[in-house]
Structure 1
Amino acid sequence: MRQEYNIDRIIQYNVSEIDSNIMIVNREYSNLTYQFKKVRERISMHQAKLYTLIEENVPTEMEQTSQNLKQQMELRQRIESLQQQYQSLIETRKNKPYKISIGQMPQSTRYNKLNTESKYLQNIIKIICYRAETAFANTMASCYSKNRDEIRALVKSVIFSKADLIPDEVNKTLTIKLYSLATKRDNLAVQKDCDLLNDTEIIFPGTNLTLVFKTATT
């Protein structure tokens, strides 16, 4: 329905600030926690590789020991570097509170929310569109009694079809002439609705012109 009636184009997504006193988990604290967990995983992975090299070095020949020791040394250096990085992240996190208020967040990352009025308006429009479709479809039930989906498809076809607007200031009418639809049965069903609407003698808002509905086949 949103795509069919282009609802998104008539909704303004205004943003309003959330209560600045609400406490939330500090995003910087969470990011640091994530980072040092990843570093700890890398340390464990390198330590496992180092242990494997040590185990492999015991039974190997002397000529292979040199290469093995070189790999061990590289791994030890990486582990030492990662351990320093790990300690640095822990110390940095100690200076970050676990929770902060929304007002303490940087302006660029501060949480906001969509105005609820926009959501309410969108909901109301969708209800109106659906009820209009349903009412229109119910008037055609006698022509399509066995297939409700077919009726709704016809209703949408009518809504999206082109029409000529013919004002008549002398007779105080505004004629809405719908273009012909795909089948004769569709045109007959729509003509019944046109007759029903004409009986209500609807005045076009802001004018004194009475709406007259007809199809191109009449």
Structure 2
Amino acid sequence: MGRIDAYLYIDGHVRVYNGQQTKLPRHHVARQKLCLRATTDYWVNAMDGQPFMVINKAVDPGMIKVIENDILPQLEKRLPTFVNAEELKSDPLLHRFTLVCDRESYSPPFFKRMKAQRVACLTYHKYPGENWPEEEFLPYAVTLSSGEQTQLNLAERGHCLSNGLWVREIRKLSQKGHQTSIIGTDYRSEMIPLAVAMFARWSQENFFKYCREHFGLDKLVDYCIEPVSESVKVVNPEYRRLDSQIRSSQGKLNRLLARFATLTLDAPIEPDKVEPFLQKKTICQEEIEAFQVQIKTLKEKRKQTPHYLKVKDLPEEEQFQQLSTKSKHFIDTIKMIAYRAETAMANLLRETLSRPDEVRSLLRAIYSSEADLIPDDEQGTLTVKLHHLANRSYDVAIQKSCDELNSTETKFPRTNLRMIFKRKRRFFPPRQATPLTLKA
């Protein structure tokens, strides 16, 4: 088609807090494999990890509901129009932009609703089925979002979902023979850009990791609390408890059934051998029947228990609050601006380094290094002389950054002083003459 597609990456990040200041709702933290008191933020990023927006949810209704109720209305207001109405009307398979998410967004009804709104979805296949024959995969040279060249073994088929929606299924074959399946409702783009866009989703995970380490993403901004809206619905704690008991009992029952199936009599049929065997079978059968009765009783109780309750209807010991979001939203905005500015500088300096993966380390070193500020009211300038770093190979990169910043002719805030960035010259002390000793 030759059109520029907008790939927007959506993922949830669970911010874990101490929980001593206020009683927060519990969320499952995947990176710690624990259920902790926290809040969930849904971030929208670009392919290179640059953040666009963030939606905070004290009570997490799930990614699909957040996309449809919160993220999508904001994107429709803020995103530029890549496709006009006439093109959409003439081509029923054309889309406006693409949402790239992980397996949490897998839902055939959700894909169909997004297709009706002319929004393409790209995610991992939750139920990929059997492997495809390796003869279907062909090597393709691809260019990643970072500019790196690599080769991927790809294959494509059409796939019909459970609701009758046809999607594109693309699989990547690894060197060890593992097949990664992705599905999408983008019917117009080539296969290679879709594969690159899906596997670039790790840029968002890298963004979370980097911002936790260097931008204080999980840092508590303030200790103010506010009540949760009484109309918000949450899972009934009693329903969750019954569901947990059913799952536990069902697991024990499955193990008993497996053990019962393995009980066989291999010895000769004699009274002294048969009686112990029948006794074991009888005991196992009684345990199975007891668990079946227990599971049936628990399911009846769960059926009579409401699945969801409003916050106001929760028992007093289950009540919780949420952290104030006013300061948090302001700080998150500053962090997004700072990260986008750092990414722009990283893209500028990456070409000058022999190891491009060190560019953000170089930028952090520049930010923390000392500098001389020399104001000149007559010339209307403010000269910023950057000190040298320990690594002399960084000097070329620093000089290029200074030249680029000087070309913007930026004025220092609240003054008329134009900022000039320079790199201090290295001082090399003169070498002392070494006396020559003449041998006879």
* Counterpart residue identity of residue 228, structure 2: I
Which position in structure 2 is the counterpart of 1:189? 400
* Runs of 5+ unmatched residues, structure 1: none
What is the 5 A alignment of 1:1-218? 2=211, 6-8=215-217, 12=221, 16-40=226-250, 42-43=252-253, 46=256, 56=265, 60-83=269-292, 85-86=294-295, 89-90=298-299, 92-93=301-302, 96-106=305-315, 109-110=318-319, 115-117=324-326, 118-119=328-329, 121-131=331-341, 134=344, 147=351, 153=359, 156=363, 159-165=366-372, 176-181=384-389, 182-183=392-393, 184-186=395-397, 188-189=399-400, 192=403, 202=412, 213-217=421-425
Distance 2:260 2:213 in 1: 62
- Residue deviations 1:49-89 (CA, integer Å, cap 9, x gap): 55775x859x8222211211221332244235435534553
- Residue deviations 1:161-208 (CA, integer Å, cap 9, x gap): 51144688xx9x9864311253453454355467668x7663678xx9
Pairwise CA distance, 1:26? 1.9
* Runs of 5+ unmatched residues, structure 2: 1-209, 427-440
Distance 1:129 1:113 in 2: 27
Confirm or deny: 8 A CA contact 2:411 2:417 kept in the other structure.
no
- Residue deviations 1:126-167 (CA, integer Å, cap 9, x gap): 225424763x689xx7xx7x93886x9387267435114468
- Return the structure number with greater strand share: 2
Distance 1:165 1:10 in 2: 31
Label 1:119 to 1:83 Cα distance change in 2 as closer, same or farther (>3 A). Answer: same
Distance 1:72 1:4 in 2: 58
Between the two proteins, the alignment pairs up a number of residues equal to: 207
Q: TM-score, normalised by structure 2?
A: 0.34
- Residue deviations 1:28-62 (CA, integer Å, cap 9, x gap): 21331342354356446546755775x859x8222
Distance 2:277 2:244 in 1: 33
Distance 2:420 2:311 in 1: 58
Confirm or deny: 8 A CA contact 2:387 2:423 kept in the other structure.
yes
Confirm or deny: 8 A CA contact 2:352 2:397 kept in the other structure.
no
Distance 2:257 2:342 in 1: 69
Pairwise CA distance, 1:100? 1.8
Label 1:98 to 1:52 Cα distance change in 2 as closer, same or farther (>3 A). Answer: same
Q: TM-score, normalised by structure 1?
A: 0.59
Pairwise CA distance, 1:122? 1.1
Pairwise CA distance, 1:108? 5.7
Label 1:217 to 1:109 Cα distance change in 2 as closer, same or farther (>3 A). Answer: farther
Distance 1:123 1:99 in 2: 34
Greater length-normalized contact order (CA 8 Å, ≥ 6 residues apart)? 1
Matched residue SS, 2:284: helix
* Counterpart residue identity of residue 147, structure 1: E
Matched residue SS, 1:8: coil
Distance 1:48 1:158 in 2: 60
What is the percent sequence identity of the aligned residues?
A: 21
* Counterpart residue identity of residue 217, structure 1: R
Distance 1:133 1:52 in 2: 60
Distance 2:343 2:258 in 1: 67
Label 1:107 to 1:60 Cα distance change in 2 as closer, same or farther (>3 A). Answer: same
Label 1:107 to 1:177 Cα distance change in 2 as closer, same or farther (>3 A). Answer: farther
- Greater Rg, structure 1 or structure 2? 1
